[in-house]
A and B are shown apart, each in its own frame.
Chain A
Amino acid sequence: MVTEQHIWQELAQVTDPEIPTLSITDMGIVAAVELDAQRRSVCVKITPTFVGCPAIELIRREIELRLMRLPLQEVRVEVTYDPPWNSNRLSPRARELLRNFGIAPPPEYTGTDFPLQLLQEAVPCPYCGGTNTVLQTPFGPTLCRALHYCYDCRQTFEQFKPV
């Protein structure tokens, strides 16, 4: 019999195609797992990091493929904005993995609406830990990443954007 725990274990194996060290559970993309009483049918709700995230279809397919290996009759994956994803949903493990991958994690904030002043605050460099850094542009190689420059180690680095 499939349990909710089995499903979460499978979901923890699904990674973000743009940052493959991160699983979708670490990223807080899974909003809900709804298993019916007979445990034959499941609906997974995912909340995208950005509305236009091109990875969401790949993630959806990967979830379906994995869950269809379990003894279930129906697997559905729905995109939801309830709750809307925000960068506070990144787990402590995700933040650590991002740093190791060379991407600065976003600063945490209180509430659900990130203050724009956060963009002006120095982000610690993921390479040298220096804080003599500056935001170069909030638009990077993917929608969820910004570019910063570190004056300590004189390198450009990426940050997972606060949102």
Chain B
Amino acid sequence: MVPPLQMPQLPPEALPALKDLLYRMADDALIIGHRHSEWTGLGPILEEDIAFSSIAQDKIGHAYALYRLLHELGEPEPDHAAFMRDAPQFRCCHLVEYPNGGYDFSLMRHLLFDLAEQWRYHLLERSSYEPLAQLAHKVRGEIKYHVFHATQWVVHLGAQGTEESHERMQRALLQALPLALGIFEPSEYEELLAGHAIFPGERVLQSHWWETLLPILERAQLQVPPLETLTPAYGGRRGQHTEYLQPLLDEMTEVFRSDPTAQW
């Protein structure tokens, strides 16, 4: 017999903290992936249509891998985690729930989100929870492409486009920034996660993100409001969502819920 899968050592008190972290990440990836996929067939040019569709596919792949880790920790199967829960059970941030709006908002959200993802996975490469550290190493290579794409377009439209494109990117930034700060909504498990070296915490993540974001926005010639004047859109990590999430879930899960036992 092949020896059974080695289950990593995890102190029991760290389990709820780890699951909470994984659900936040998986739900963020699933919902932003769904939003990005809404550009399929509608992108302003063919290359951009393909870019958003490819990024969507990556994100949903990341969500699947994270739900699989959760399943190994005793949670439902990935398809059930993704398709059988309603909004209050989701742990995603408000940023990913918002409708795509125009290409300006979609691109700005893409930059703000993926820069945070890049840092989150970078920090997780050193996680004491080995399966997550391995996944993080793999995912980070993919997210480099996402950040590359977002940065290129935000800088292009902000600094090298027209007056209108600049103005629209500026407006998108002001709309998306408070939502993006909601990514870093602290959880009740921050100390536990840091103490067990699973994840250093949302505050650490946010400061890395901010430091890397500012030079990009400067290259894009966008004005950044002082951080202390912004009110972060918190609530998503506790299951309090915007009015946009449940309709998205209704649409996304309609086929699956019509027969959850169907074999695809």
Contact = CB atoms under 8 A, between A and B. Distances in A.
Contacts of A113: 140-141
Given A82-B134, A86-B141, A139-B55, A52 B1 contact: no
B232 to A, nearest CB: 29
B58 A137 contact: no
B203 interface: no
Contacts of A137: 47, 50-51
B65 A139 contact: no
Contact of A52 (B5, B60, B140): B60
B17 interface: no
A53 interface: yes
B138 A51 contact: yes
A44 to B, nearest CB: 10
A161 B137 contact: no
Number of chain A interface residues as a range: 20 to 34
B196 interface: no
8 contacts: A34-B2, A43-B2, A51-B61, A51-B139, A52-B58, A82-B134, A137-B51, A138-B149
Interface in A113-130: 113-114, 116, 119
B141 A139 contact: no
Number of chain B interface residues as a range: 20 to 34
B109 interface: no
A139 B47 contact: yes
Interface of A: 34, 36, 41-43, 50-54, 74, 76, 78, 80-82, 84-86, 112-114, 116, 119, 136-141, 143, 147, 161, 163
A116 B145 CA distance: 8
Interface in B3-54: 5, 47, 50-51, 53-54
A81 B50 contact: no
B233 to A, nearest CB: 27
A163 B142 contact: yes
A138 B52 CA distance: 11
Given A139-B145, A163-B141, 18 more contacts: A36-B1, A51-B135, A52-B64, A53-B61, A74-B2, A78-B5, A81-B134, A81-B138, A84-B138, A112-B137, A136-B47, A137-B50, A137-B51, A139-B55, A139-B149, A143-B54, A147-B47, A161-B145
A139 B134 contact: no
B110 interface: no
Given A34-B2, A52-B60, A74-B1, A119 B137 contact: no
Contacts of B148: 116, 119, 138
A24 to B, nearest CB: 17
B55 A42 contact: no
B39 to A, nearest CB: 12
A140 B50 contact: yes
B118 to A, nearest CB: 11
Contacts of A141: 50
Contacts of A86: 141
A41 to B, nearest CB: 5
Nearest to B145: A138
Contacts of A85: 138
A132 B148 CA distance: 22
A116 B61 contact: no
A133 to B, nearest CB: 16
Nearest to B5: A78
A138 B51 CA distance: 8
A139 B1 contact: no
B242 interface: no
A51 B142 contact: yes
